[in-house]
Amino acid sequence: MALGGKPSKTSPGANQSHAAVSSQQTDFELEFFVSILHHMPDYVDVLRVVGNLLTLKGRFAEGLVVDKRLVQLRRHDPLSHYNLACSYSLLDRLDQAIDCLRKALEIGYRDFRYIREDHDLENLRRDPRFETLLLEFEPC
């Protein structure tokens, strides 16, 4: 759902304009989905979208609240635990991030390539426990 077309390569500030439109679109989407949550606070699919949008906006503490709620609602969902690990990592809360990533792996999260590339886990990848944890679960 993009607003407008691609920015012109020749116009000055085109990248800034595109970034502004993208930011406005994200703000609009966030407001829209949050309004849905006011009426249906346990709507899992909308909670996931809101969590992602908050992360895009750099609002990591608010995203953490959403991811904790998702784990409450979907205790056996590996993706919920993985996203919670990402939120903790973004907030540099590495002990909690390791615990949540372990839980995600224990209950079936298996996208090891993505785990190794996900920017949200950048802080966690610097921790020696990260590699040890992956070696425990990753197939040879």
Instruction: Please report the pLDDT score of residue 17 as a whole number.
Output: 60
Rounded to the nearest integer, the mean pLDDT of the chain is 89
Q: Is pLDDT at 42 greater than 70 in this prediction?
A: yes
Q: Is pLDDT at 9 greater than 80 in this prediction?
A: no
Instruction: Please report the pLDDT score of residue 31 as a whole number.
Output: 97
Spell out the residues 6+ positions from residue 26 whose beta carbon is closer than 8 angstroms to its own.
53, 56, 57
Q: Is 112 helix (H, G, I), strand (E, B) or coil?
A: helix
Q: Is pLDDT at 4 greater than 50 in this prediction?
A: no
Q: Note the maximum CA span of the chain.
A: 52
Q: Is pLDDT at 117 greater than 70 in this prediction?
A: yes
Task: Locate the domains of the chain by residue range.
Answer: 15-137
Q: Which amino acid is at 91?
A: L
Q: Is pLDDT at 139 greater than 50 in this prediction?
A: yes
Topology adopted by domain 15-137: 1.25.40
More confident residue, 3 or 119: 119
